[in-house]
Structures are given as C-alpha cells and as structure tokens.
Amino acid sequence: MSLEQIYLPDLDLDAPSLKITGPELHHLRTVRRFGPGEQVVAVSGNGHARTLTLDTIEKDAVYARAGELRAEAGELPLPVTLCVANLKSDHLEWVVEKATELGVWQIVPLLTDHTVKKGLRPERLQRIAISALKQSGRSRLPVIEDLTPFPVMLQTLTAGEHWFCMAAPDARPVAALTTEPAKASLTVWIGPEGDWSEAEYAQAKARGMTLVHLGSRRLRAETAAITTLSTASQWIEFSNK
C-alpha cells in the first residue's frame, strides 16, 4: 500500500528531521488525523521524495524524522510537454489535473487562431496540479506557463519529437509512432474546440512536426489531449524498461 504524500516545496534533502507547518500541517493533523510513528512521503515538486516518520504532532507544527531520499520518484524517464489551446469553462483545469497524473513535465496554454477563452486562472491551475501531484505519487510538479501565442511557441521549439494532433489527410495514426522505444523528449500539441487553422497547420508542417491523428471519431479537445498523453506516457515508461 502506498504512503500518503505531502507537498513541501522547500523540502530539505539533508536534514535528519523536519518541521512541517502550513497547509500540510492541517492536512496531517486535522484532516487525516495521523499519529506518531506513522509514515508519509514528502515531495518537493522538483523531483525529490523523502520518507518521513512522524514523531510529535503539535498545534502549530508536526515534527518528523527524515528517511530515504529518492530522485525522480514516480517520474517518466523522458520529459513530456503539453502545448494545448486554452479551453472554455473548466476544461483546461481538467486537462491540467489529468496531464499531471500522466507524468507531464510542462504545460503551455496556447492562444491560437480559434481560441475563444483569452484568460487564465494560474493560481487555481497550480492548486489543481499540486493536488494531482500528491494523488498520483509523483515528485515533480509540472511547470504551467503563461498563456502563449502559438507563433511565439513555434519560435522556441525544443529538440525531440513533436506530435501535432490534427485530423489531416497526411497525418499518421498515433499507434504507428510507438512501435520503437522512446528515445527523446516529446511535445504534444492539441488545438482548440474549433481545431487548428489552415495557417497553423501549414506552419506546423513547415517546422517539421509529426502530424498525428487519433482515429475516425471527432474528439473534444480535452479528450484528444488525454488520449494522446495516455498513449505517450505508457509508451515512454514501458519501452524504457
């Protein structure tokens, strides 16, 4: 049975004991009602995890003995970035939650030609990602970028593979891209509810992105994002074992 996780962004990697205050104090003492001798895992959000044994639980702090330190606990062996058009309602929040569970390292909300929603709620997105981080057993909190125009993101393309998801005649089935072991970082590109524009499609082709289609059914943007990330996450994890 896996241990409860708590998020400590200032996690000390060397100290033999730790003092826990703030939101995680309330969670341990009031919500979960943990007692002395019980264990939890503290994660930093930067890829580190430490097993803690609770010693003393007081009103203003929990004191714990620090044990095993692990690097990249619960993480994929290769970085995955999700570039996704900003979505209406709470759909982007749902994508952030599930993308975090699936191992994404970076999430870039995009402003595209057909994007309707122009604003973000970064603090709420961060809270959702932290909750998903703890729930999923990860140790690295995804970086959630500011709303970025599609052409600007194109100018900063990183090395590795780029899957540009669009139901185009020359797109390849996503399953055909996972027959060989994953060897490089991956960026998944998902358009808005109205799909990518013809200009964006042409720009993606010109930059050499791999055009990917996800089947004959018309998927909502959030469904396309999670379908692709689920395939990519399993491919990267299991092809490297």
Q: Among 25-34, 105-114, 130-139, whose mean pLDDT is lowest?
A: 25-34
Confidence (pLDDT) at 141 = 98
Confidence (pLDDT) at 197 = 95
- The CATH number of 5-71 is which of 2.40.240.20, 3.90.1300.10, 1.20.1370.20, 3.10.310.50? 2.40.240.20
Q: Give the domain ranges of the chain.
A: 5-71, 80-238
**How many whole angstroms from its chain centre is CA 100?**
3
pLDDT tens digit sequence for 194-210: 899 999 999 999 999 99
User: DSSP string spanning 67-103?
Assistant: EEEEESTT--SS-EEEEEE--STTHHHHHHHHHHHTT
Return the bridge partners of 83, or none. 108, 189
Band (pLDDT 50/70/90 cuts) for residue 1 is low
Residue 185, number of CB atoms within 10 A of its CB: 18
Query: pTM of the entire structure?
Result: 0.94
Count Cα atoms within 13 angstroms, Cβ side, for 210.
17
pLDDT tens digit sequence for 43-75: 999 999 999 999 999 989 999 999 999 999 999
Does residue 168 register a pLDDT over 90?
Answer: no
Confidence (pLDDT) at 129 = 98
Does residue 143 register a pLDDT over 80?
Answer: yes
User: Do 73 and 137 form a contact (C-beta atoms < 8 A)?
Assistant: yes
Extract the tokens encoding 60: 């203003």
Which position has the token pair 């962004």? 9
Q: CA 62 to CA 6: how far, in whole Å?
A: 12
User: Do 165 and 212 form a contact (C-beta atoms < 8 A)?
Assistant: yes
Looking at domain 80-238, its CATH superfamily turns out to be SPOUT methyltransferase, trefoil knot domain (3.40.1280.10)
